[in-house]
């Protein structure tokens, strides 16, 4: 058995789209440095509507925003303005404190905003919780491609490719797209690792993956696990 547990997220309906929170949960409070794992969408909002997260504070952690579709305008108390789009990871290090807002750009509202992506929160290591706040948007991310498989490394190192995104602890974060009959190995060299199917059909070592559920993998399995697509999977 490759799985330790499967965590079914708690779903919150925010009016035009759903947010699914897998962690924290009564079953598990974190995986590696990840202490919050939220998945939202896919959805297309009505024309004129959009995301409107008003300015709010964060402290002692870092947030990572990754989109599959759509766009989000980020503003923060450092004076940063950045439009988050697919293919660019936004890392906001709160450290001793930062305030930010997240809103759909006007062009997105005018056409009916798309909402589909992930937001994860990372714990900062002991003794570094109150470092200076910072923000970075990184687009130059390594891509690994093979037949029916495409993987983009968002943070950390995977299969010899390292993302330039800042990391504060050992972190592996990647988006994997599998075409029909595509398969990809999941190496067993991390103490804690998890996968989430966010679209299509897929299985792990022959066991079906449930859409949007977080599957925590068993450490130390002596052979690579394999994620296989039953159609198009991500």
Question: Any idea what the CATH number is for the domain that residue 153 is in?
Answer: 2.60.120.10
The pLDDT of residue 229 is: 78
Nearest of 87, 42, 66, 234 to residue 148 by alpha carbon:
234
The residue range of the domain holding 196 is: 143-229
| 234 within domain boundaries | no
Whether residues 53 and 168 share a domain: the answer is no
Residue 16: inside a domain: yes
Strands 89-93 and 225-229: unpaired
Q: Is the pLDDT of residue 231 over 90?
A: no
Residues 43 and 88 in one domain: yes
Q: Are 11 and 54 found together in one domain?
A: yes
198 vs 222, residue with greater confidence: 198
Is the link from the previous residue into 49 a cis peptide, with omega within 30 of 0?
no
Domain boundary among 138, 155, 184: 138
For residue 145, list its beta bridge partners: 150
Assess whether 14 and 126 both reside in one domain: yes
Pair (17, 86) in one structural domain: yes
Q: Which of 110, 138, 166 is the last residue of a domain?
A: 138
Q: For residues 97 and 192, state if they share a domain.
A: no
pTM over 0.95: no
Whether the CB-CB separation of 52 and 62 falls below 8 Å is answered with no
> What pLDDT is recorded for position 4?
77
Q: Per residue in 10-45, pLDDT tens? A: 999 877 889 999 999 999 999 999 999 999 999 999
Q: How many CA atoms lie within 13 A of 145 on its CB side?
A: 3
Report the domain count for the chain: 2
């Amino acid at each position: 058995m490759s799985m330790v547990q499967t965590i079914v997220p708690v779903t919150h309906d925010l009016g035009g789209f759903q947010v699914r929170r897998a962690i924290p949960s009564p079953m598990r409070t974190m995986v590696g440095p990840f202490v919050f794992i939220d998945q939202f969408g896919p959805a297309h909002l009505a024309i004129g509507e959009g995301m409107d997260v008003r300015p709010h504070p964060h402290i002692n952690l870092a947030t990572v925003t990754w989109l599959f579709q759509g766009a989000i305008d980020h503003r923060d108390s450092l004076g940063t303005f950045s439009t988050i789009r697919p293919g660019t990871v936004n890392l906001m290090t709160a450290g001793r404190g930062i305030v930010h807002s997240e809103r759909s750009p006007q062009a997105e509202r005018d056409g009916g905003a798309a909402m589909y992506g992930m937001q994860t929160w990372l714990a900062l290591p002991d003794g570094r919780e109150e470092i200076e706040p910072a923000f970075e948007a990184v687009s130059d991310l390594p891509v690994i491609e093979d037949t029916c498989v495409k993987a983009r490394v968002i943070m950390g190192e995977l299969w010899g490719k390292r993302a330039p995104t800042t990391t504060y602890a050992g972190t592996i974060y990647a988006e994997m797209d599998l075409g029909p009959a595509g398969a990809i190995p999941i190496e067993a060299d991390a103490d804690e690792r998890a996968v989430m199917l966010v679209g299509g059909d897929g299985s792990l070592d022959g066991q079906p993956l449930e859409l949007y559920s977080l599957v925590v993998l068993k450490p130390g399995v002596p052979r690579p696990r394999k994620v296989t697509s039953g159609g198009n999977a991500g």
